Chain A
Amino acid sequence: MYAFTYHQPNDVAAAVALLDEDAKLLAGGQTLLPTMKQRLASPASIVDLGKIGELSGISREGETIVIGAMTRHADVAANAAVHQAIPALAALAGGIGDPHVRNRGTIGGSLANNDPAADYPAAVLALGATIVTNKRELAAEAFFHGLFETALGEGEIIVKVRFPIPQKAAYQKFRNPASRFALVGVFVTQTKGGARVAVTGAGASGVFRVNALEAALGASFAAAALKDATVPAEGLNTDMHADAAYRAHLIVVLARRAVAAAG
């Protein structure tokens, strides 16, 4: 790891003031520190969000669950309000990486990183969550911009994420047993506005929605509605773990399982 100047501000305003183009925010460090150790990133300064209390915590506000950016995966997985309102989200958080990664990694770090095989982006897109930064509020659709790219600009920090509570939701992940990331992950939701299906792990440009599956589930939110469904392999990833055709097949299988699990 290359040397850097270290800052540990106590509030968001102080953190923003420390950000310049050579600075990087540090949240749980579960992506950034391995990257720095391998010298794939070499920020001149690190702004550690770990002591900013206002960024952590989970609350229910009416029909939404609000999760602070620095909330650890393990805390989302164990939270009673999340379990009660969106059990699929608690289960998703409890399936990220391993127990030690979950004790450090944060929702804000995961979303800012936008790894194409990460779990949280699927939940944010399928639940129609809103990402609140120090500058603005972004709808999920407007936030994710392809591989490892987001709408976040310079000096912008994710503060919290607001998840509307759905009628039904479930997440099914086909794990890569070595990396623990999603080979394919499918998050389905049913809300008053209709059904949503978001897919991670498969798309060549990151998380995406599948309109054809959403339409079929909009007509009938049941696994049987996807009995003959198919998803085209174009635009899906091929790598050493699986080819695009296999991933396309998995999307439908996991979507069916998710709908069945949503009950």
Chain B
Amino acid sequence: MIHVSMIVNGKAASADVDSRTLLVQFLRENLRLTGTHVGCDTSQCGACVVHVDGRAIKSCTALAVSLEGAEVTTIEGLAKGGKLHPMQQAFQDNHGLQCGFCTPGMIMSAIDMVNRKGSHLDEHTIREELDGNICRCTGYHNIVKSVAQGAREMATAGAAKAAE
């Protein structure tokens, strides 16, 4: 067993894990953060996307032991004080989900997209950037609408925060 420590959603978290433990297993099984999903075993679906040191990665395709000391944000870390993150709210407003299985990964990818590409995202960019996230239900149309709205509102929320 190897001792591994990370900062997960702002809190220190550690466990003794087998070296083959994937980041997603550490999150789901050790920390009981089951919002991060596993939808495939080929690293293709994106249901498991989380942020590690500010970058979106597939948590099913990283060893927990490789990420000693990392800062991790999962879907559980987004809502603040009982208020949904603007990107979560946008998925609710636009009916951007049906079964919801892909949604945590979609939202983590969407926020990463805004962090890299800014808050004015055209439809083409959103579709291209969601390449690594597969949804079996929605047909993507409302997901794309959700991401566009969430991106705009992240800018507004950011501006409001900066003005405080």
The answer on A and B forming one complex is yes
* Residues of the A chain whose Cβ atoms lie less than 8 Å from the Cβ of B116: 99
**CB-CB contacts of B38-57 with A at 8 A, as 1s and 0s?**
00011110100100000111
Are A100 and B56 interface neighbours, CB within 8 A? yes
Q: Interface size on B (CB < 8 Å)?
A: 30
CA distance A29 to B66 in the complex (A): 10
| Min C-beta distance of B70 to chain A, whole Å | 10
Q: Which residues in B have their C-beta under 8 angstroms from that of A100?
A: 46, 49, 56-58, 109, 132
Are the C-beta atoms of B46 and A38 separated by less than 8 Å?
no
Q: How far is the CA of A29 from the CA of B43 in the complex (A)?
A: 10
Q: Give CA–CA (A4, B56) in the complex, Å.
A: 26
A99 touches B113 (CB 8 A): yes
Near A by CB (< 8 A), chain B positions 16-47 give: 18-20, 22, 41-44, 46
Where chain B touches its partner, the secondary structure class is mixed
- Is the pair A2, B20 in contact by a Cβ cutoff of 8 Å? yes
Contacts of A98 in B (CB 8 A): 46, 131-133
Q: Which residues of B contact A34 (CB under 8 A)?
A: 41-43, 61
Does A60 touch B at the CB level, under 8 Å? Answer: no
A145 within 8 A of B: no
Q: Decide: B41 and A38 in contact? CB cutoff 8 A.
A: yes
Judging by beta carbons under 8 Å apart, are B61 and A104 in contact? yes
**In contact, B131 and A29 (Cβ under 8 angstroms):** no
Shortest distance in angstroms between A99's beta carbon and chain B's nearest beta carbon? 6
Is the C-beta of A97 less than 8 angstroms from some C-beta in chain B?
yes
B61 touches A29 (CB 8 A): yes
Interface presence of A257 (CB below 8 A): no
Query: B residues within 8 A CB of A46?
Result: 19, 63
A29:B56 contact, CB within 8 angstroms: no
Which of A4, A29, A33, A97 touches B19 (beta carbons < 8 Å)?
Answer: A4
A-chain residues with CB within 8 Å of residue B46 when the two chains form the complex = 98, 100
Chain B: minimal CB distance from A77 (Å): 11
| A103 on interface, CB distance cutoff 8 Å | yes
CB contacts (< 8 Å) of A4 on chain B: these are 19-20
A48-B43 in contact given A4-B20, A98-B132, A100-B58 (Cβ < 8 Å): no
Per a CB cutoff under 8 Å, which of B61, B113, B132, B133 touches A33?
B61
Contacts of B137 in A (CB 8 A): none
Name B residues whose Cβ lies closer than 8 Å to a Cβ of A: 2, 18-20, 22, 41-44, 46, 49, 55-58, 60-63, 65-66, 68, 109, 112-113, 116, 129, 131-133
